[in-house]
Amino acid sequence: MTPLGERIRVLREERGVSQKQMAAAIGVSAAYLSALEHGKRGVPSWPLIQKIIGYFNIIWDDAEDLQRLAENSHPKVKIDTAGLSPAATELANLLAEKIDRIDEADIQRLTALVREMAAAKPA
């Protein structure tokens, strides 16, 4: 499941809406919506994200949060390390190879650490 898929599922459950009902309302199939929630589809288009935002009547910060979740919900990630250090390439490959063996608490800590480190360095 992707961060976006998890958020959509929570929003649906909070409002008591089935996948079939939501899918019909936003103009997609229930199968597509299920695949999106389960991380079997890539990031939806901006117009579809807007339909989801409108469907749930999400405003301002919550809408921006949903957009950010969508941007970070690619189920198949590619990392281009060309031009980076050998250590960066090793790290990318190590994560790709071992991510399924890292528990959720450690993933949360690693994510926070990477965000903190990236925020401390100018782009």
Query: Does 79 fall in a domain?
Result: no
Structure tokens at 7: 């958020």
Percent with pLDDT over 70 in the chain: 99
Query: Does 60 fall in a domain?
Result: yes
pLDDT at 1 over 90: no
Domain count of the chain?
A: 2
- Is residue 52 located within the same domain as residue 19? yes
Question: How far, in Å, CA of 82 to CA of 112, rounded?
Answer: 25
3-state secondary structure of 45: coil
Query: Does 114 fall in a domain?
Result: yes
Query: Does 80 fall in a domain?
Result: no
Q: Which domain holds residue 8?
A: 3-71
Q: How confident is the model at residue 100 (pLDDT cuts 50, 70, 90)?
A: very high
pTM: 0.70
Main-chain dihedrals φ then ψ at residue 14, nearest 5 degrees: -60, -30
pLDDT per position as a tens digit, 10-48: 999 999 999 999 999 999 999 999 999 998 888 899 999
Query: Does 76 fall in a domain?
Result: no
Residues 97/35, Cβ–Cβ less than 8 Å: no
